[in-house]
Amino acid sequence: MDGYAVCWRDMPGPWRIIGESAAGQPFTGTLGAGQAVRISTGALVPDGADAILVQEDCQRDGDQLALSGGGPASQGAHIRRKGHDFSSDAVLAEAGTRIDARLIALAAMAGHGTLCVQRPVRVAILSTGDELVQPGETLPTLAHIPASNGVMLAAMLSGLPVELQLPQMLPDRLDAIGAALTHHRSADIIVTTGGASVGDHDLVQPALREQGGKVDFWRIAMRPGKPVMVATLGDAIVLGLPGNPVSAYVTALLLLLPLVRKLAGIGDVFPSACDGIAGAHFPANGARQDFMRARFADGALVPVDNQDSGALRGLLAADALLIRAPYQEAKRPGDTVHYIPLNDGA
Ligand code: AMP
Ligand code: MG
């Protein structure tokens, strides 16, 4: 505080002013009995002083100082002690902590001019399909559709420490897909969408094998998302996601984002599941874990109307993915259900 540094013992004064301590320009002497030093906010408290008289409480006449108000409530009032914020041996952030503005400020205050950080995760997105047209472009024929997966995945990754290779569109041709995969073999993750099933034009796996990639596993007992493939090529983990937009979204949420978080060293990799209340009848489930698009109606979860894996409007209407475990029994309104909320940016 702006005022005078004094010794608590000498209260209630009067004092003789012997110098000044300003911010960045400390008083170099030591306070003796009955002495005061003019002080300003941010200045070092002089040796020998242990109390601050705020300016409003004092009357000064030349080098004479007298108390005109109440004076400090306690000895150390208005003094920040050394280590009041953190001690020199404190761990201020664990490894893996995301650096934000507050941590940057704290690190700077702790004397760090540079921080050791992990580089962003390099992700390449490849959309396959002869029917795909860049979003916004006129569709040449009725057989074409806009390529929505690339921009959707890019948006899902935008909140994470990712260096993104712009979403690229590829025709259903072995040579084109193979060349693109090889081109990105030094990425951390190559995400493909489409071409992941068993059709004649599902070429991601054949192209990958042709380039020397190794498939770790293919197909997961989940709905949507059954055709997911996980492979390696060069330095890259290849995550083959389904082409259907809702399937691509759900598998990216449950598999791609956790993988990125893991590689980025971020602690909690999986989206957390919550307990909710069924607001409708849900039939017994089959062999695949189901992630049903659901919305809240009067506080309880009901399925959105269109559960088609190509129905992006149904996905947008959803507040949650309702989780139905394999062979889970039917649920009645009022029963407890588990769900993953869809409101955290992804
Ligand atoms: P696929 O996995 O290639 O058999 O594709 C499954 C469905 O997803 C098809 O109806 C495709 O037209 C559609 N699809 C594939 N890729 C995309 C994409 N990038 N954006 C939107 N829809 C897609
Ligand atoms: Mg396709």
Q: What is the pLDDT along the chain (346 residues), one digit of tens a residue?
A: 999 999 999 999 999 999 999 999 999 999 999 999 999 999 999 999 999 999 999 999 999 999 999 889 899 999 999 999 999 999 999 888 889 999 999 999 999 999 998 899 999 999 999 999 999 999 999 999 999 999 999 999 998 999 999 889 999 999 999 999 999 999 999 999 999 988 888 999 999 999 999 999 999 999 999 999 999 999 999 999 999 999 999 999 999 999 999 999 887 899 999 999 999 999 999 999 999 999 999 999 999 999 999 999 999 999 999 999 999 999 999 999 999 999 755 5
Dihedral, CA of residue 252, residue 254, residue 259 and residue 260, to nearest 10: 60
| C-alpha 328 to ligand 1 mean position (Å) | 30
Per-chain residues with Cβ under 5 A from ion ligand 2: 129, 194-195, 243
Query: Is 40 in contact with 22 (CB distance < 8 Å)?
Result: yes
pLDDT in tens, 254-309: 999 999 999 998 878 999 999 999 999 999 999 999 999 999 999 999 999 999 99
Ligand 1 binding pocket (C-beta < 6 A) is 127, 129, 131-132, 145, 147-150, 193-197, 242-245, 310
**Helix, coil or strand: residue 248:** helix
**Alpha carbon of 38 to ligand 1 centroid (Å):** 74
Give the Cα separation of 238 and 188 in Å (integer).
9
Buried b (16+ CB within 10 A) or exposed e, 311-327: bbebbeebbbbbbbeee
Q: Which atom of ligand 1 is nearest to the CA of 227?
A: 2
Q: What is the reported pLDDT for 211?
A: 98
Tell me how far the alpha carbon of residue 19 lies from the centroid of ligand 1, in angstroms: 78
**Mutate-to-test residue for ligand 1 from 125, 144, 145, highest number of ligand atoms within 8 A of CB:** 145
Q: Which of 270, 273, 276 is nearest to 295 (CA)?
A: 276
Give the number of the ligand closest to the Cα of residue 131.
Answer: 1
Percentages helix, strand, coil for the chain, rounded to the nearest 5?
A: 20, 30, 50
Full-model pTM: 0.80
**What separation in Å is there between the alpha carbon of 278 and the centre of ligand 2?**
36
Q: H-helix or E-strand containing 295?
A: strand 289-297
Ligand that lies nearest to the alpha carbon of residue 228, given by its number in the listed order: 1
> Shortest CA distance to 339 belongs to which of 274, 294, 290?
274
Distance of alpha carbon 322 from the chain centroid:
23
Residue 337, by phi and psi: left (phi above 0), alpha (psi -120 to 50) or beta? beta
Residue 10: partners with Cβ closer than 8 Å, 6 or more residues away? 33, 34
Give the SS3 label for residue 56. helix
Kindly state the percentage of the chain with pLDDT values over 90.
Answer: 91
Closest residue CA from atom 23 of ligand 1 = 243
Between the CA of 127 and the centroid of ligand 1 the distance, in Å, is 8
| Alpha carbon nearest to ligand 1 atom 6, residue | 243
Are 249 and 321 a contacting pair, CB within 8 Å? no
